[in-house]
Chain A
Amino acid sequence: MDLLANLALGFDVALTPTNVLYCFIGVTVGTFIGVLPGVGAMTTVSILLPLTFGLDPVTALIMLAGIYYGALYGGSTASILVNLPGTPASAVVCIDGYPMAQQGRAAPALVITTIASFVGASISLFVIALISPLLADFAMTFRAPDYFSMMVVGLLAAASVANKSKLKSVGMILLGIMIGLVGIDRNSGVIRYNFGIHELMDGIGFIVVAMGIFGIAEVLNNVGSIRDRGTMLHSVKWRQLLPTREDLRATWRPILRGTGIGSVLGALPGTGSTLASFMAYSVEKKVADKPERFGRGAIEGVAAPEAANNSASQTAFIPTLTLGIPGDAMMALMLGALVIHGITPGPNVIYEHAPLFWGLVASMWIGNLLLLLLNLPLIGMWVRMLRIPYRALFPTIVVLICIGVFASGNQTFDVMVVAFFGLVGYLLIRFGCEPAPLLLGLILGPMMEQYLRRSMILSRGDPAIFVQSPISAVFLAIAALMLLYMIRDAFRTRQGIPGTAE
C-alpha cells in the first residue's frame, strides 16, 4: 500500500501545472537536441542548469530529467531517419532502424520506438518505487567507512565500463577528485590548489567543468570531423503511423526483455543506458529464430534497445537518489543539481524530501506520455531540424555555453575556466581518455574526503576500520576484483597486438 501512496504523492506533485509545463519544456528541448547530431544531453543540461536556480528543486530536476530521456528519444529518431545517432545510446538503433527506413518502414519504426520507450518507462516506474525505499533503508545502516568504500566501488564501476582503456578512466577519476579539492578545505580552512588566484578560493564549480570537458571539448572534437553533407531523408508515410498487429506481436516480448535488461543495468553504478541498449540488442539477436534478419530491418532490433535505454535512464536515478552514487556523468550532473538546490544526497532524500523524490519519479512517466502524444505529430518538424548544418550549430553552442557559465556565477572568470577545461578536455579526448569518469570523481571526491576523515575519527586513526566493517569489507573486495580485472584487461590488449599482427 505504501507503494500506491508514494506514487499518489508523486503524481500529486508532478501534475501541478508548473511541473507539467517544465516537464514538457524538458522533453521538447531534449528531443530537439537529441535529434541534432553533435549536441549532447550533457551540454544542454549543463547550459540550462544555471537557469533553474530560481526554480523549485523538484521543478528543476523534472525539467533536467526530461531533457535527458527526451534526448534519448530524439537520438533514436535521428538514428532511424538518417543513420546518425544523436546520442551514444541510440547508436544501436541505427543497425536495424535505418534499414527499416530504407525499406519505407520509417513510420512503424518510429512508432515502435515511442511505444517501447513508454512501456519501458512505465514498468521501470514500478521498479523504482519498489526498490528505492528498500535500498534507502539498507543504506541508512551505513557508516562513514561503508560510504567511502561504496564510493570507491561506484567510481571503479564507472571506469570499468569505459570503451577505451579502463586504466585511463581510473586516471580521469583521480584527476577529477583532485579538481574537486581546489578551494577552501571545509575542515581546516586551508585554501588548496588555488595557485594564488583569488577566484579559485571557492573551488571550481562542476557546471563549469562539465561545460568545458563535455560542451566545448565536444565542439573542438566535432568541428573538423562532422562534415555537412546533404543527408538523405526518408519520408514518413502518415498512414503507416499506426503499428500493424503483426508489428505489435513481434515486439511485445522484445520490449519486455529490453525493459528488464535496462532496469537492472540502469540501477547498477557505471553502466547506464548505452550499455543497456547494446546488451538488449545482442540478447534479441541471440533469442531470435532467424538472427540473420538483424541488421536488415528487424523491428525487434529497434524495440528492445529502445525499451532498454529508456528504462535504464530511469532506474539510473535509484542509486543516485537513494545512495548518492551517480552511475554516469549525467547522473553526476543531476546529483550536482540537487546539491546546488541545497539537498544533501543520500538515503535521507527519499524520506526528508519525499515530494521531490516521488514527484520526479512520477514526472518521468508523464514525460514519456507527453513524448508519446507529442512526438508522432511533430516528427515532420524533427525531420526538418536534421537539416540544420553543424557550422551553424556550433557557434550557437559556444555562445550559449559562455552565457550559461557566466549566468551560473556572474563571473567572467568562470568563462576563462571553461576555455581552460575545454582545451584540457580536447587534449584528453585526443589522448583516448573518456571525460565522463572525471566528472564523477569531481562530484564524489570531496564527499570521499569527508567520509575518510570521519572514518579515521571513528577508528581513532586505525585504517583497519575499512575491513572490519562488514559492509565496507564487501565493497572493498568488489573494488579489488574490479581493479584486478582492469589490470588484466590492460595486459591482455598489450598481448593482443602482436597476436593480430601474425
Chain B
Amino acid sequence: MLRSADFWTGVAFALCGGFLFFIAQEYSMGTPQRIGPGYFPSGVSALLFLLGVFIAGKSVLAPGEKMDPLNPRALMVIVAIVLFAFLLRSFGLFLTAIITSVVSSMASSEGTWKQAILIAVAVGVLVTVIFGVLLGVQINLWPRWM
C-alpha cells in the first residue's frame, strides 16, 4: 500500500482539499443569492477532499500501480532555478544563465564537467544575444559591480 501511486495521490488530494477547505472557512460564504468569496472554494476543495479519500480508500482495497521512484539527482534542476531567481538582479543575465546551466547539468549523470561548462557558456552567449540585444528584454545583462 505504501508504494501504491494511487494511495499517495489520494492522500495528497485529501490533504490539499482539507487544508484549502479549512482556509476557505475564513472567507465569507455570503447568501445563496449573493455568494461570497468562500462559497466556490469551499465547494471545490470539499470535492477534492472527498475524491482524495475515495482514491486512497480504493487503493487500500486494490493498490494498483506502484509509484515510480523519484530521481533525487533531477532536483538539481530546481536548485538551478532557485539560484537563477536569487542571482539574476545582482549577477546579470550572462553570468546567471551560465551558473543555472552548469547547476542543472548536474541533474544528469551523463557528460563531463568540461562539456557542462562548454554548454553553459554557449547558453550564456545565446540568451544574452537573443534576449538582451535582439529582443531588448528589461534585464541587466552584466553584473552590478562591472
Contact = CB atoms under 8 A, between A and B. Distances in A.
Contacts of B80: 395, 398
Interface string B1-20: 00001101100110011001
A493 interface: yes
A209 to B, nearest CB: 14
Nearest to B106: A395
Majority SS at the chain A contact face? helix
Which of A185, A396, A493 has the most chain B CB atoms closer than 10 A to its own CB?
A396
A174 interface: yes
B129 interface: no
Contacts of B126: 396
A185 B24 CA distance: 12
A403 B137 contact: yes
Contacts of B85: 402, 412-413, 415-416, 419
Interface stretch (A69-77, A121-129, A130-138, A449-457): A449-457
Interface string A451-476: 01100110011110000000000000
A317 interface: no
A176 to B, nearest CB: 10
A358 B32 CA distance: 41
A493 B44 contact: no
A175 interface: yes
A490 interface: yes
A463 B32 contact: yes
B91 to A, nearest CB: 12
Given A190-B28, A431-B5, A432-B65, A426 B81 contact: no
| B contact residues, range | 35 or more
Interface string A260-276: 00000000000000000
A92 interface: no
A169 B33 CA distance: 31
A338 interface: no
Nearest to A168: B9
Interface in A194-244: 216, 219-221, 223-224, 227-228
B81 A216 contact: yes
A46 to B, nearest CB: 15
A187 B123 CA distance: 45
A461 B33 contact: yes
A494 B9 contact: no
A140 interface: no
Contacts of A415: 81-82, 84-85, 88
Contacts of B52: 171
Given A415-B81, A419-B85, A494-B62, A175 B16 contact: yes
A223 B31 CA distance: 51
A416 B33 contact: no
B74 A403 contact: no
A221 B31 CA distance: 45
B32 A407 contact: no
A391 interface: yes
A391 B40 contact: no
Interface string B39-69: 1110011011001101100100110110111
A412 B86 contact: yes
A399 B51 contact: no
B70 interface: yes
Interface in B92-110: 93, 97, 100-102, 104-105, 107-110
Nearest to B16: A175
Nearest to A222: B74
A133 to B, nearest CB: 33
A399 B83 CA distance: 11
B32 A396 contact: no
A193 interface: yes
30 contacts: A167-B55, A168-B6, A171-B9, A174-B45, A178-B16, A190-B27, A192-B24, A192-B27, A219-B77, A391-B108, A391-B119, A395-B80, A395-B119, A398-B80, A398-B101, A399-B84, A402-B85, A403-B139, A412-B85, A412-B86, A415-B85, A428-B9, A431-B5, A431-B9, A431-B12, A431-B67, A432-B6, A433-B9, A461-B31, A461-B33
Given A395-B116, A457-B33, A460-B33, 4 more contacts: A171-B51, A220-B71, A430-B5, A452-B35
Interface of B: 5-6, 8-9, 12-13, 16-17, 20, 23-24, 27-28, 31-37, 39-41, 44-45, 47-48, 51-52, 54-55, 58, 61-62, 64-65, 67-71, 73-75, 77-78, 80-82, 84-86, 88-89, 93, 97, 100-102, 104-105, 107-111, 115-116, 119-120, 123, 126-127, 131, 135, 137-139
